[in-house]
Structure 1
Amino acid sequence: MNEITNLKINVGIDIAKQKHHASILLSDRFNPLAGKVLKEFFFDNSEKGFQKLHTNIRKYTQNFPEGKVAMEATAHYYEVLARWLEHHDYNLIICNPRQAKYLRNVIKPYFKTDPIDSLVLAKGAELGLLKGELYDKKYAQLKELLQLDKKLKRDLTRLKNQTTRLMDVIFPERSKAIKGLFGKTSLEILQCAPTPSDLIELGVEKLTILLKRHSRGRFRLSEANKMIDLARHSVGISDPIWVYELKLLIPRIVQLQDQVAEVKIKIHDYVFDGFPTEIEKISEIPGVGITAGAAIIGFLGDVHRFVGNRASRKVTAFAGLAVMQYSSGQKERMGKISKAGPSLLRFHLGWSALQAVKTKGPLQDFFEGLVKRGVLKSKALVAVAVKILRCCFYILRDGVEFDPTKLQRRDMGNVHSRMLIAPIQV
């Protein structure tokens, strides 16, 4: 056999914000440990830099077959280069940073530099120790929408907490007249009259008109009189700085609430346009709403990449719901869930599990059965979340309809004890 056919080019790229580092490795498939570094170089995160990488790789692939190009999924910085390489038909490995970290500790412990990181990635591709692929754009865009939804809700919660703190000092009696600080009617009044003195100045007549208009007649003169009376006898402190801060926060809350509602509609439109059959099928599972279903579809991606007899266990591990095992000698104990996968996927699975156990059906029966056997509720929710995830996986992979009777089968009802060890954290 010609010696050249034994050799192959593998490339490792360490991703950064402005400059990336590449290591081009010549690998021998009959002696993987004898790889030779042909070239190491930095290149800019620009068209010129990408062409430099392309030219250097093509220089060596003229004489040797091309192997794989490996890089870490480092924040969002890898996305542009990965899409560019995909467009130029490179065989990509987009690995989890945790994989690269473990591999570096084996190959080059005690050192961490850009050249070493890129060399470790090239070695990992050479030895076949790295796994991962670039998400299809339709899944990546759905994930981006879900991440945006999460960020907006997180910001909204933070602003609401700040506003609640201020209102507890400025007008602590307000909740006795109108329940809920962040309803549409309440926010409209806050924008017009945030302090007790502003309410008194506004007067009963104008306040009644505001209440009727924005509550669609639910609040009337009696609520207006009550608010004015509470304002006159309020013990709140209308510190000018606190009032100024409150006036800045209210418009931002209104804007964020509108944006959250807009993004929710966008997610629903996107998933029904791109995955109409899939979302209709998995949303039939108790507890799985449209947004949760979109998260399951988006983060699992192409489910056919989970192959083998234990594909469902691989999906569980991908979601970070697999329980870690510790054993030494004759001692063995189970730890917490690994939480190695997407945290947002676990959140939606946990939320779906919480909703499912409130809905009469096989999942609620399954949950209650575990609790009766002495399993903690938090741990039983893990089993419900895993069951929901696996149901979604089979539906997406095989294209079958959801069948609640299969959840009652003996083989699906007996959840492995390892799934009941760690409570889910969402």
Structure 2
Amino acid sequence: MSTSGKYVVGKLRDVGFSIHLADPSMISLIFNTGKKNDKEDSYKLAKLLRLGALSEVYLPSKYSDDLRSLVRYSRSFGESITMIKNRVHAILTSAGISIDATDIFGKKGMKLIIRSIDHLSTAQRYILGDLLDQITYLMRKESTVEDEISRSVINDRSVNLLMTIPGMGIYSSAAIMSEIDNISRFSSKEKLASYAGLVPRQNQSGSSDIRGHITKHGPSMLRFIMVTAAHSIIKYSDRLKRKNLSIVKRLGKNRAIVAIVRILIETIYTMLKNGTEFIDRTDALTERKMVSMRSRASKPH
């Protein structure tokens, strides 16, 4: 939906209208006719709506829409930071400098970089210093956005439930809920998995039923967060760790992590539907996350 479309939806909602947003990918097939104008299109849309045959796109709540904006804004900082870090790596590599640190942008790594600047040209020193300043600035801005996310979700029961999953913090829990919005709009865990694009493609004809790779339909942000969370959770949950190792032996690492993501999204459905915490939660870890969220939410704007 366009920016102006969001404005119109907001105004209509404010005065009590029930909004129905047509799915453009389906409508284009229906309205591909010789006679096409605003009046005809409006009539056809109204007729489809009356017959219950209008393919619609879900409209998120104002709360979820705002939360989604914050989450995606925060991710844009992360992407910018990654790009700048790659440029730092390139400068160091071009000068033959190797930093012996797990994280070269941590305290130890930064000290080693500073000790190595004598091996850089004047131009390289200037660019490196400017890039490191940009990283510091963007990380600080990213942190303030995540503080705002904490303020937004501190009383959100669903986000608090998801934070009981090991490896899933404030940001990832908020990101998932901003995409799911209201769990009651999904009638089953399979429907949620399909919405996330985590079900296999199917090509069925007669007795032939071919299953392919996952569809990857739906919000890419949700899949990105789910894959990241799956890599973490197999380190904490003994049950999912065993499941992952079992699938790796049969199908390999890549297909195994996709299977874990599918299990995780279906687990999330059950948690949100029943209001239950994660079965393999680590209470001490969950409490640390909750304390961190309360601390960040209490910071001044």
Shorter-chain TM-score bucket reads 0.7 to 0.9
Task: Write the letter of the residue equivalent to 1:254.
Answer: T
Shift of 1:109: 6.0
CA shift in 2, pair 1:287/1:180, >3 Å:
closer
Cα deviation 1:298-355 (Å, max 9, x = unaligned)? 2111111223xxx211111111112210123443311221222111111111111111
Separation in 2 of the partners of 1:322 and 1:111?
38
What is the match of residue 296 of structure 1? 176
Separation in 2 of the partners of 1:175 and 1:326?
51
Q: Does 1:313 align with 2:237?
A: no
What is the match of residue 17 of structure 1? none
Shift of 1:141: 1.7
Task: Write the letter of the residue equivalent to 2:236.
Answer: T
Partner SS, residue 366 of structure 1: helix
Shift of 1:271: 1.7
CA shift in 2, pair 1:400/1:259, >3 Å:
same
What is the match of residue 168 of structure 1? 93
Map 1:332-371 onto structure 2 (within 5 A): 332-371=209-248
Separation in 2 of the partners of 1:189 and 1:370?
41
Shift of 1:246: 3.5
What is the match of residue 140 of structure 2? 258
Higher helix share: 2
Partner SS, residue 358 of structure 1: helix
What is the match of residue 408 of structure 1? none
Separation in 1 of the partners of 2:35 and 2:84?
42
**Kept after mapping to 2: 8 A contact 1:356/1:363:** yes
CA shift in 2, pair 1:156/1:111, >3 Å:
farther
Separation in 2 of the partners of 1:159 and 1:114?
48
Separation in 2 of the partners of 1:247 and 1:163?
9
Partner SS, residue 20 of structure 2: strand
What is the match of residue 416 of structure 1? none
How high is the TM-score relative to the length of structure 1? 0.58
What is the match of residue 297 of structure 2? none
**Kept after mapping to 2: 8 A contact 1:145/1:267:** yes
Separation in 2 of the partners of 1:137 and 1:397?
21
Identity %: 24
CA shift in 2, pair 1:258/1:92, >3 Å:
same
**Kept after mapping to 2: 8 A contact 1:92/1:133:** no
What is the match of residue 265 of structure 2? 389
Map 1:18-97 onto structure 2 (within 5 A): 73-74=1-2, 76-95=3-22
Separation in 1 of the partners of 2:62 and 2:129?
41
Separation in 1 of the partners of 2:25 and 2:146?
36
Partner SS, residue 17 of structure 2: coil
What is the match of residue 147 of structure 1? 72
What is the match of residue 398 of structure 1? 274
Separation in 2 of the partners of 1:112 and 1:336?
38
Which structure would you say has the larger RCO, counting Cα contacts within 8 Å and 6 or more residues apart?
Answer: 2
Partner SS, residue 175 of structure 2: helix
Separation in 1 of the partners of 2:148 and 2:237?
30
Map 1:197-216 onto structure 2 (within 5 A): none
Which structure has the larger Rg?
1
Cα deviation 1:112-140 (Å, max 9, x = unaligned)? 99888767655543443222343222211
What is the match of residue 30 of structure 2? 106
Give me the CA root mean square deviation.
Answer: 3.2
Task: Write the letter of the residue equivalent to 2:16.
Answer: D
Separation in 1 of the partners of 2:36 and 2:130?
45
Matched residue pairs, number? 280
Task: Write the letter of the residue equivalent to 2:10.
Answer: R
Map 1:184-203 onto structure 2 (within 5 A): 184=107
CA shift in 2, pair 1:89/1:255, >3 Å:
same
Shift of 1:179: 6.5
**Kept after mapping to 2: 8 A contact 1:187/1:250:** no
| Unpaired stretches in structure 1, ≥5 consecutive residues | 1-72, 194-226, 406-426
Separation in 2 of the partners of 1:181 and 1:371?
31
Q: Does 1:278 align with 2:202?
A: no
How high is the TM-score relative to the length of structure 2? 0.79
**Kept after mapping to 2: 8 A contact 1:316/1:390:** yes
**Kept after mapping to 2: 8 A contact 1:143/1:295:** yes
Separation in 2 of the partners of 1:112 and 1:256?
49
